[in-house]
Amino acid sequence: GDEDEDPPSFCSGVDLGKSDAQLAKAFPGFPGKARCMEVEVAEGEMLYLPAGWFHEVTSFSSPAPATASKAKTRGAKGKAGAAATPSSHAAFNFWFHPPDNPDPSYHAGFLRPYLSDYWPSLWRARCEDLGLPVPPEPEPLDPAARRKRA
């Protein structure tokens, strides 16, 4: 296949090339393309995803230069030069603090990935200190639901 082509998706049958109307008909629960984003992260960069955000990652290596590939081949046959290093990459997931709220619902689980208010309150305080817009406080968890999960 084409080197610039994305490989088949492991998690989604949603073709974002289709119109909003086609997507709404095929996937009534899909929030729409306006709620999706595509991000490119370059070598040495990191992307922060808030806990609970659904995401799919496709990662690529830059192809080794043709001269390096030829040098490796010639080196392996003993004809010329040292072997070149093939191109490669590594991608790592890092969970700073994994979510601990197992509730699968949108309001209680997705919007409140943590049972404690520690992380949201810390984030709001940092935003205030930096003069950034402060995110709203999440709706409180139902105390009965919190006791049930504890």
Paired tokens of 135: 């995110």
pTM above threshold 0.75: no
112: exposed, middle or buried (Cβ count in 10 Å: 0-12, 13-18, 19+): buried
Give the amino acid at 91.
Answer: A
In this prediction, residue 60 has a pLDDT band, given cuts at 50, 70 and 90, of confident
How does DSSP classify residue 17? Answer: T
Pair of tokens at residue 100: 């601990």
Rounded CA gap, 13 and 63, in Å? 28
User: In terms of DSSP H, where are the helices of 32-82?
Assistant: 66-76
Give percent of the chain above pLDDT 90.
Answer: 2
3-state secondary structure (DSSP) of residue 117 = coil
Q: What is the pLDDT of residues 116-136, one digit of tens each?
A: 888 888 888 988 999 988 888
Percent of the chain whose predicted confidence (pLDDT) is above 70: 64
Q: Two tokens at 53? A: 């955000």
Q: Domain ranges in the chain?
A: 1-60, 62-96, 99-150
With left for phi above 0 and alpha for psi between -120 and 50, is residue 81 left, alpha or beta? left
The pLDDT tens digits of the residues spanning 66-109 come to 554 443 433 344 444 445 456 676 777 777 777 788 887 777 77
